[in-house]
Structure 1
Amino acid sequence: MDSNLVQWKRQGQSYLRRVRIWFNLLDPSLLLSSDAEILKAHTHLGSRQKVDEKDNAAVLLSLSSVHADSGATLPLVFRPPALLPISGPLVVATLLPHSSVKPALFWQLLLQSYNAGFNYTNRNSSAEQLQSKKTSLKQLLLIGGTVSYTTFAGALPQIFINRLGIRSPPVQTFCRSILPIPLSAALAFFNVFTVRSEETETGIQVFDYNGKPVGISKAAGERAVRETGLSRALLFGTTAAVPNMLVLLLQRTRPFQRNSMLSAPFRHISVALVFSLMIPISFSFFPPLGTIKKENLEEELQAGAIGSQLFYHRGL
C-alpha cells in the first residue's frame, strides 16, 4: 500500500478530520513546490514507520501532489490545490445568465474539459499499473464524447431560452436559476462515471488491513466510481443551488428591487465562496481510502482475504 494511503488510513477515518486535512491540502502555495521536492517528501514518508508533527509539511506535499497508485507527481493543473484557482472562475462563468448560446457553450466546454482531465488524472489506476497499460484509444474517445455531451447538456437552459424564444420572466427564471441545479449535479456525476468507467470494467486493487494486496475487484471499482461521482454531484449541485436560491430571495427585498445591478456581483461572489467551501466538504464526504466488506467482493477474492473488510483507493 502506498504511503499516501497509509496516511489516509491513519488520519482520515473521521469526517471532521478529513475536512481539516483537505482545507490544508487545498492550499495553492503547495503548487510552488518542485517535482524533486514532492518526490523527496513522498519517499521520506515511505521510509518512516511513524509520522510526527515535524513531518506535517511532507505529508501535505505528498498527499496533494503524488498519485497514490503510480507514485508519480500529478500534472500541475490537475492537482487538488489547482482546482479552485482554475475551475472556480469557470464555474462562475457557466452560471452567469448569458445572452446567447455561444458563450454558454464556450464556458461549458472549458469547465467540462477541465473536469474530465481532473477526474481522469486522479482516478484509481492500480489495474493499469499492474498490467502496464497505457491510455487506450477507446478511453480517449470516451473522454472526448463525455466532454462533448456534457458541454451541450450544460448549455441546454440557454439553448431553450434562445431557440424557443422564451420571454416569460417566470420561465426564464426557471431556466436560469432552477434548472441548472439538478443539471449541474447530474452532469458532474456523469462526467466522473463515464471518464472512470474503466475502473468498473477491469476492477481496482484491494488491500487487507495490513496493506497487503489481495487482488483486483470490480465491486470495489464500482463503489469507488459511484462514491466519487456522488461527491462531485454534491460539489457542483450545491454550488449551483445556494447562490441561485439566495439571489431569488434577495431580489424580493427592497435594496435589490431599487438597484437591480446588485444581483450580478452578489451572484459572482456567492458562487465563488460556496464553491471554495464545498471543495473540502465534498472531497471529505467519502474517505480516500475506502472500505468494502469481504462478503461484497468477488468469490475468488473472498478466499484469500484476511479480515472482515478490505481497503481500496477511491481516487478523487
Structure 2
Amino acid sequence: MAALWPLWGLSPGGSFWQRFAFWADALDPLLLLAPADEIRRSRLLLQNSGKTLSEPIQDDQMRKAFLLSLSSVHPDTDKIIPVLFRPPAFLPICLPLVIVSSLHLQAKATFFSQFVFHSYTTGFALINGNSTTKAEEYSVQEKQIFYSLGAISYAACIGAFPLVFMNRYTMKSPLMELIVRKLLPAPLLGLMSAFTVAVVRSPEFEHGIEVVDRNGKVVGVSQKAGEKAVRETALSRGVLFGTTFFLPNVLTYFVQRAKLAKTPRNLAVVRMLFTTLVLGGMLPASLSMFPQRGEIKRADLETEILSSTEEPVLFYNRGI
C-alpha cells in the first residue's frame, strides 16, 4: 500500500461540497467502459507524477487519470476492482434493488428482495474495504465470508419480520399498515445496511489496518484506525439507504395528498422517480460525509505506533 499512498494527494478532500463534486464525477458509469490497459496507464501516470499528499490537482489530464484510478483500482491492494463492484456500478445496480425492496410485497418476496440487495451491498463493502495484515489471509477471508452470509441472512429476516408479525397475528388495522409499510422500512434498512458493513469489515478493527505519514511511509498497523474507518463507512451507508427509503415515501405522500397522481400506476411511477433522484443525490453525499483519506491523531493510536513516529496526524484508507 505504501507505493499508492503518495497518490492520495489527488483524492477528494477539503470541504464536504468539494468532496461531493469530486465523487459526482468519479461515479460516472461511463468510467466502467475503460479497458484494463487504460486503467494501468492512468496508474502509471499518477505514480510518475511526483505528487505528494499535500499537492492538489491542477492538471486536467491528471484529474481524469485519478478519477479513473479512484473508480477502478483498490487503493490498498493496487488491484483492479471487478466491474460490478466499482463505485460507478453501485447506482445502476442498487437502484432496481432498492425500488423492488421498497414495493409493498408479501413477506417471502420482501425477504428475497432484501437478501439480494444486502448480498450486493455486503459484497461491495467487502471488496472495497481494507486488507488486514496481522492474521493469516486465508483465515480472515474465510471468516469474512462466513460473517457475510450470516449478516445478509439476518438483515433480510429483520426486513421481512414486521410483515410476518403483522400477518401472523392478523394485525391489519390502518395504523399497523402505516407503521409496518411506511414508517419501519426506512430505519430498518438503514440500520441493517450499517450492520452488514460493520460485520463484513470487522477484521479491520480486530486485526488493524495500516496507517501512514504524509510521505506515504507505513508507520504501523492500528486497530483504532480500523475501528474509525469501519464506523465512518457504516454510518455513511446507513444514512444513504435510510434516507433513500424514507424521503421518496414522504414526497410521494404529498403528491398523493395533492392529487397530482390520480391512479396507482402513476403514483408508482412518481415513487420510482423520487427514489432514483434521491439515491442519485445521496450516493455522492454519503461518500463525501468523511474524507476517503482518513486522518487520525497520533495521540489516539496505540502505544507501539506512538514510539514509531513524531507526526501529529497519520492517515489511513477509509474504504467505501
TM-score norm. by structure 1 comes to 0.93
Match of 1:160 in 2: 165
User: Judging changes above 3 Å, is the alpha-carbon distance between structure 1 residues 224 and 153 closer, same or farther for their aligned structure 2 residues?
Assistant: same
Q: Which moved more, 1:6-15 or 1:230-239?
A: 6-15
Q: SS at 1:182's partner residue? A: helix
User: Judging changes above 3 Å, is the alpha-carbon distance between structure 1 residues 3 and 250 closer, same or farther for their aligned structure 2 residues?
Assistant: farther
Question: How far did residue 305 of structure 1 move?
Answer: 1.9
Count of aligned residue pairs for this structure pair: 312
Question: How far did residue 132 of structure 1 move?
Answer: 7.1
Which AA in structure 2 matches 1:61?
L
Q: Which moved more, 1:71-80 or 1:177-186?
A: 177-186
> Could you tell me whether the CA contact under 8 Å between 1:3 and 1:42 is conserved in 2?
no
2:216 counterpart (202, 211, 219): 211
Q: Which moved more, 1:3-12 or 1:141-150?
A: 3-12
2:118 counterpart (112, 122, 127): 112
Provide the rounded CA distance (Å) in 2 between the counterparts of 1:70 and 1:102. Answer: 39
Q: Which moved more, 1:283-292 or 1:155-164?
A: 155-164
Match of 2:296 in 1: 292
Match of 1:124 in 2: 130
Provide the rounded CA distance (Å) in 2 between the counterparts of 1:210 and 1:313. Answer: 14
Question: How far did residue 3 of structure 1 move?
Answer: 6.6
Match of 2:81 in 1: 74
The residue correspondences of 1:191-210 to structure 2 (distance < 5 A) are 191-210=196-215
Question: How far did residue 267 of structure 1 move?
Answer: 1.2
**Unpaired segments ≥5 residues, structure 1:** none
Deviations 1:232-291 (A, max 9, x none): 0110011011011122333322445x5444321111111121011100000010001000
Provide the rounded CA distance (Å) in 1 between the counterparts of 2:94 and 2:259. Answer: 33
> Could you tell me whether the CA contact under 8 Å between 1:89 and 1:272 is conserved in 2?
no
Q: Does 1:102 align with 2:103?
A: no
Q: Which moved more, 1:73-82 or 1:163-172?
A: 163-172
Question: How far did residue 312 of structure 1 move?
Answer: 0.5
Q: Does 1:223 align with 2:228?
A: yes
Provide the rounded CA distance (Å) in 1 between the counterparts of 2:160 and 2:79. Answer: 36
2:180 counterpart (164, 175, 181): 175
In the TM superposition, structure 1's runs of 4+ consecutive aligned residues that sit over 3 Å from their partners are 1-11, 258-262
Question: How far did residue 39 of structure 1 move?
Answer: 1.7
**Unpaired segments ≥5 residues, structure 2:** 52-56
Provide the rounded CA distance (Å) in 1 between the counterparts of 2:110 and 2:289. Answer: 30
Provide the rounded CA distance (Å) in 1 between the counterparts of 2:221 and 2:2. Answer: 16
Match of 1:272 in 2: 276
Match of 1:12 in 2: 12
> Could you tell me whether the CA contact under 8 Å between 1:45 and 1:58 is conserved in 2?
yes
Q: Does 1:246 align with 2:251?
A: yes
Question: How far did residue 311 of structure 1 move?
Answer: 0.5
User: Judging changes above 3 Å, is the alpha-carbon distance between structure 1 residues 248 and 139 closer, same or farther for their aligned structure 2 residues?
Assistant: same
Provide the rounded CA distance (Å) in 1 between the counterparts of 2:33 and 2:255. Answer: 40
> Could you tell me whether the CA contact under 8 Å between 1:185 and 1:232 is conserved in 2?
yes
Root-mean-square deviation (Å): 1.8
Identity %: 40
Deviations 1:106-155 (A, max 9, x none): 11111000011000000011x34x87723532221111111111111122
Deviations 1:144-181 (A, max 9, x none): 11111111112223323332323212210211111012
Which AA in structure 1 matches 2:74?
H
Question: How far did residue 16 of structure 1 move?
Answer: 1.4
Q: Does 1:56 align with 2:60?
A: no
Provide the rounded CA distance (Å) in 1 between the counterparts of 2:224 and 2:169. Answer: 44
Which AA in structure 2 matches 1:253?
A
Provide the rounded CA distance (Å) in 1 between the counterparts of 2:130 and 2:142. Answer: 19
Provide the rounded CA distance (Å) in 2 between the counterparts of 1:174 and 1:70. Answer: 45
Match of 2:318 in 1: 314
Which AA in structure 2 matches 1:116?
T
User: Judging changes above 3 Å, is the alpha-carbon distance between structure 1 residues 148 and 170 closer, same or farther for their aligned structure 2 residues?
Assistant: same
Q: Which moved more, 1:45-54 or 1:110-119?
A: 45-54
The residue correspondences of 1:24-39 to structure 2 (distance < 5 A) are 24-39=25-40
Deviations 1:181-235 (A, max 9, x none): 2111101110110000000100000011222110000000000000000010110
TM-score norm. by structure 2 comes to 0.92
Which AA in structure 2 matches 1:34?
P
